[in-house]
Structure 1
Amino acid sequence: MFERFKKGLERIIEFLSTSELDEATIEKYRDDIVFTLVENDVAFIVAENIVEDLKRKVEGLRVERFSEKRRLIRRLLREVLLELFLYAGKLDLIAKAEEKRRKGEPLVVLFVGPNGHGKTTTIAKIAYLLKKRGYSVVIAASDTFRAGAIEQLMEHAKKVGVKVIKQEYGADPAAVAFDAIMHAKSRGIDVVLIDTAGRMQTDVDLMNEMKKIYRVANPDLVIFVGDALTGNDAFDEALKFNEAVPLDGSVLTKMDADAKGGAAISIVYATRKPLIFIGVGQGYEDLKEFDPIEFLDNLGLKE
């Protein structure tokens, strides 16, 4: 996994280790570092920030031996990226559901993101996970825009054994979300998962509609669903959605495909919120908790 990115980072380590390890060296190789990161789906602004963080890390360092330089550069790259993930924090969905259940209230989770990024499938996977952990779930079919969206959601819900609250196509998505929340409260259901229409971050009308759903549903959590294969667009998408509604975390789908890995870094940088899960397959069980340490190890940045 992430072999291309891993090789790119090795190239960075190699050329930085051939010179004195100081700010001037990092600056000298700035373009090479940025290019390597960008070609592995790290957004340009994020790559530039990583270079600046590296410059701060090497300030005042003195390393003579070649082997020590390589080890040190690897450690510094790991520290820069790990600090980003640690700053974003951690979101434990199961703990949130348990906290709300103890209060006798449903946990309401709103899912947002662009078209075709796997929102509906991700919701089904999360419903499956919650049911396995003993939580009751209802899904709101608030994508009343895309043809076939409700049928697709109902098919997934049937397979994982959860109820869908729906209305007709063209209905007010916020009203559907509200109905699902009322249904959960009246029947003691633990979690409400709200599916929404995929929308481009540049579509003003649909983004305003999403804001309305947010106001009406007043969710406990808003989760952005991104696609690991979207490349450098991941940063702008996550940034614009986070500006429209306050995100609490993200899920990155299709990490099992030919993903380079940089989108995970870009999304966390854009939102300053944790990456909660990654999608690693088509099955309902193919949803994995994101582990920053494992991610960095897979990039060859082991301690």
Structure 2
Amino acid sequence: MFESLKKKFSRTSDKLEEELIEEAQEENNLEEESGKKFSFFSFGRKDKKEEDDSESDVAEIPQEVESIQETDTSDNETSDDKDEKSGFWSFGKKSGDNKKESQEEESAEEIQEEEEPKKPHFWSRNKDKDSSEETDEDEEPSGMFSFITAKTISEKHLEDILWELEMGLLEGDVAMEVASAVVDSVKDDLVGRKIKRSNDITEYTYNALRNAVAEIIDIPGKSMTEMIETKKAQGEPLVVMFVGINGTGKTTTIGKLANYYLKKGYTPVIAAADTFRAGAIEQVNYHADKVGVKLIKHQKGSDPAAVAFDAVEHAKAQGKELVLIDTAGRMQTNTNLMDEMKKIKRVAKPDLVVFVGDALTGNDATQQASKFNEAIDLDGVILTKADADSKGGASLSIGYVIKKPILFLGMGQGYDDIKEYDADWMLNQLFSESGEEVNINEA
């Protein structure tokens, strides 16, 4: 998820590090030191200690070449990778350790002397190395530098970098006001920071971006589950009305939510209040049958407000805790359909009006939510197809723009593929390496 945003965040850190290191090089204020150069995402790893232990084990493998074939399959893979990258020194390692290490140190010094006059030297020499090469500190330069005199991040250092970040966010379908808020927050956080080591730049940039995004995505609001419990204590069902344009997955989302709350021990009922299309009634009927919940429906062309009203009365009479009202998809510019939606709201008196938007439409979803919010006053948002969203613009923007919380995320096509929104989980998705923490059942 959100690979595009991750790259932009990481690039911001890289650019700032490049800027400060090149300036320090011109000032003769830079020296290389031993130690591991951290990647941008290493600060977000949950199991960093385990990874460090694993890296330590990998570093020891070349010293035990004779026992490689006795290891299991996973060890063989690690050793093979290591030999492939550095086979020239692994041969005869036991008899010639000291001599070989001396030759490598002399070779590294010669390379440094040849390249030192070049301005990009300190930055570029390790820039393209993969993470496994960077961890092998005995064979490669560490890539970490310190400043003889601590450097202070100024607005001058950030001007071009933050402009590039803002443009990148806009290209990722992040709303203008959100992009500006992120950039302003990062600037306030970084200007004046004193830097002693290159790793400090990465850490401070990571924290500045993470704090900025945390403020954006954490919109206060009660969860739907909490509201069901509150209404249940009052002897009433929670009534939820779903709105949005055609094709966003609104009806499928209702089926997922019915299944979600059935498994939590509640009894939902669905109202087929999209009476404009016979196909819409058949579709919601299909989902209701699949998950095993009651559907309240009328004939095509009947009053959708009446269907919603009957569903609420049925829930009250049967002691059901949740009413899910499906409404016709409509463009936010269609005045007649928007008025019909307002009528449903007046009659059914929903506790929640939820906008269902397609995360893949990016800024369009944010604009649609804004229009619906103006017309009917939304209470929350559900984003579908969030698992396929590489840009992340809608997920980052929509709640902040309309000042209403995201309630759920659609994470796949199955009925179980829906996740109750959690800002901390979202933050980890935005600031973790590719593939980390995407299993919704473990979140």
Instruction: State TM-score, norm by structure 1.
Output: 0.92
Whole-angstrom distance in 2 between the partners of 1:300 and 1:181: 42
Give the CA RMSD over aligned residues.
Answer: 1.9
Give the corresponding residue for 1:62: 194
Letter in 2 for 1:15: K
Given that residues 250 and 274 in structure 1 are in contact (C-alpha distance below 8 angstroms), is that contact kept between their aligned partners in structure 2?
yes
1:69-95 deviations in whole A, cap 9, x for unaligned?
221111111111111223x12432222
SS in 2 for 1:148: helix
Q: Does 60-69 or 121-130 show the bigger shift?
A: 60-69
Q: Taking CA–CA contacts closer than 8 Å with sequence separation of 6 or more, which of the two structures ends up with the larger relative contact order?
A: 1
Judge conservation of contact 2:356–2:384 (CA < 8 Å) in 1: yes
Contact 2:4–2:390 (8 Å) recurs in 1: no
1:48 deviation in Å? 2.1
Number of residue pairs aligned between Structure 1 and Structure 2: 301
TM-fit CA distance, 1:64: 4.4
* Superposition deviation, residue 119 in structure 1: 0.6
Provide structure 2 residue ranges, at least 5 long, that are not aligned to the other structure: 21-151, 434-443
Secondary structure (helix, strand or coil) at the match of 1:63 reads: strand
Counterpart of 2:107 in structure 1 is: none
1: CA distance, partners of 2:192 / 2:180: 21
- Structure 2 counterpart of 1:237: 368
Residue 11 of structure 1 corresponds to: 11
- In the alignment, which residue of structure 1 is the partner of 2:319? 188
Segment drifting more, 291-300 vs 175-184: 291-300
Which has the higher Rg, Structure 1 or Structure 2?
2
Q: Is the 8 A contact 1:91 1:249 kept in 2?
A: no
CA drift at 1:201: 1.6
Match of 2:430 among 287, 295, 299: 299
Give the match's secondary structure for 2:10. Answer: helix
**Residue number in structure 1 paired with 2:104:** none
Give runs of aligned pairs for residues 49-128 of structure 1, distance below 5 A: 49-86=181-218, 88-128=219-259
* Residue 132 (str. 1) matches residue 263 (str. 2): yes
2-structure distance, mates of 1:51, 1:44: 11
Query: What does 1:26-45 align with in structure 2 at a 5 Å threshold?
Result: 26-45=158-177
| C-alpha contact 2:178 2:400 (8 A) present in aligned 1 | yes
Distance in 1 between the 2:335 and 2:157 partners? Answer: 44
Cα distance in structure 1, aligned partners of 2:340 and 2:196: 59
Amino acid at match of 1:111: F
Query: Structure 2: how far apart are the matches of 1:270 and 1:171?
Result: 35
Amino acid at match of 2:195: V
Partner in structure 1 of residue 405 of structure 2: 274
| Structure 1 residue 227 displacement after superposition | 0.6
TM-score (norm 2): 0.64
Secondary structure of the residue that 1:229 maps to in structure 2? helix
Conservation of the 8 A alpha-carbon contact between 1:223 and 1:247: yes
Q: Is the 8 A contact 1:117 1:225 kept in 2?
A: yes
1:48 and 2:169 matched: no
Distance 2:297 2:173 in 1: 37
> Within 1, Cα distance between the matches of 2:211 and 2:197?
21
Distance in structure 2 (CA, Å) of the matches to 1:141 and 1:10 = 46
Structure 1 pair 61–160 and aligned structure 2 pair: CA distance change class (3 A): same
Partner residue of 1:286 out of 407, 417, 421: 417
Deviation per CA, 1:171-208: give whole Å up to 9, x if none. 22212111111111122211111111111122222222
Paired residue for 2:289? 158
**Residue type of the alignment partner of 2:288:** A
The answer (yes or no) to whether the contact 1:26–1:51 under 8 Å persists in 2 is no
Would the alpha carbon gap of residues 185 and 9 (structure 1) be closer, same or farther in structure 2, given more than 3 Å must change?
A: same
Contact 2:244–2:329 under 8 Å retained in 1 = yes
Report whether the alignment pairs 1:217 with 2:217: no
Alignment match of 2:277 (pick from 137, 146, 150): 146
- Confirm or deny: 8 A CA contact 1:228 1:263 kept in the other structure: yes
Report which stretch shifted further, 127-136 or 165-174: 165-174
Equivalent in the alignment of 1:247 = 378
3-state SS of 2:386 partner = coil
Secondary structure of residue in 1 paired with 2:195: coil
Contact 2:239–2:312 (CA under 8 A) maintained in structure 1:
yes
Asked whether the equivalents of residues 3 and 390 of structure 2 are also in contact (C-alpha less than 8 Å), the reply is no
